[in-house]
Copies of this chain bind each other. A is one copy, B any other.
Amino acid sequence: MPTLYIANRNYSSWSLRPWVLMRELAIPFDERLVPFGDPAAFRAFSPTGKVPCLVDAGTTVWDSLAIVETLAERRPDVWPRERDARAWARSAAAEMHSGFQALRTTCTMNCGVRVRIDPFPEAVLADLARLDALWAEGLERFGGPFLAGPLFTAVDAFFAPVAFRVQTYAAPVAPASRAYLERLLALPSMRTWYEAALAEPWRDAPHEEELRGIGTVTQDLRAPASGTRA
């Protein structure tokens, strides 16, 4: 059984992507959660010191998109079965993988808090407008309720962190985008992730500082902080 290394559920948007895909597709895996704070702990399993990292029969796959494509070799349900939908899904997931820098930098994932940003930077609004257009295209062209058709696939997994970001920052998106993100938040795997994120006792100082530079924290729904790992 492969091992998936992840970091704090509250912060680690890249960890969420393969995790939610494997859970929704019922791909068995052992999970190892390593909380942020000790870079050496990450270097022990990842050549970049980053998560996620999949280790399967001695082979290490150290990037989220590479993990997805490696899983897709054996699982035809990772991507849409229809050729055109698959090409679209791969393009959209790759666009997320290398892009949306303003959204990712300004609205860092922090599942358990609510933050007021006023005003939203123009570059973030531009990223959100592109997401609206991209999602509308997928939902219309392939019929929904997921981005590339009736089934949850890797392209939905790649945008799953945006659901938590929009929730945290009350980011302005189109009604169709909001409805899509609510479908993501209602998935069993997403609910499990969210509840576990709220229960985490860890606070990572760099992530918490990023948050204070961005806006005003209006709610903190997380379990009380504790210096020790639960």
Nearest to A62 among chain B residues (CB) is: B91
* Inter-chain contact A60/B91, CB cutoff 8 Å: yes
> How far is A83 from B84 in the complex, measured between Cα atoms in Å?
27
- Count this chain's copies in the assembly: 2
Give the chain B neighbours of A63 by CB distance below 8 A.
Answer: 90-91, 94-95, 98
A interface bracket (residues with beta carbon within 8 Å of B): 20 to 34
> How far is A133 from B87 in the complex, measured between Cα atoms in Å?
33
Query: Given contacts A59-B87, A70-B90, A84-B59, is CB(A65)–CB(B97) below 8 Å?
Result: yes
* Chain B CB within 8 A of A174 CB: no
| Prevailing SS type, chain A contact patch | helix
Give the chain B neighbours of A137 by CB distance below 8 A.
Answer: 47
Given contacts A60-B87, A61-B91, 18 further A-B contacts (CB under 8 A): A47-B137, A58-B84, A59-B88, A60-B88, A60-B91, A61-B90, A62-B91, A62-B95, A63-B90, A63-B91, A65-B90, A65-B94, A65-B97, A66-B90, A70-B87, A94-B97, A97-B98, A98-B98
A positions within 8 Å CB-CB of B: 47-48, 58-66, 69-70, 83-84, 86-88, 90-91, 93-95, 97-98, 130, 133-134, 137
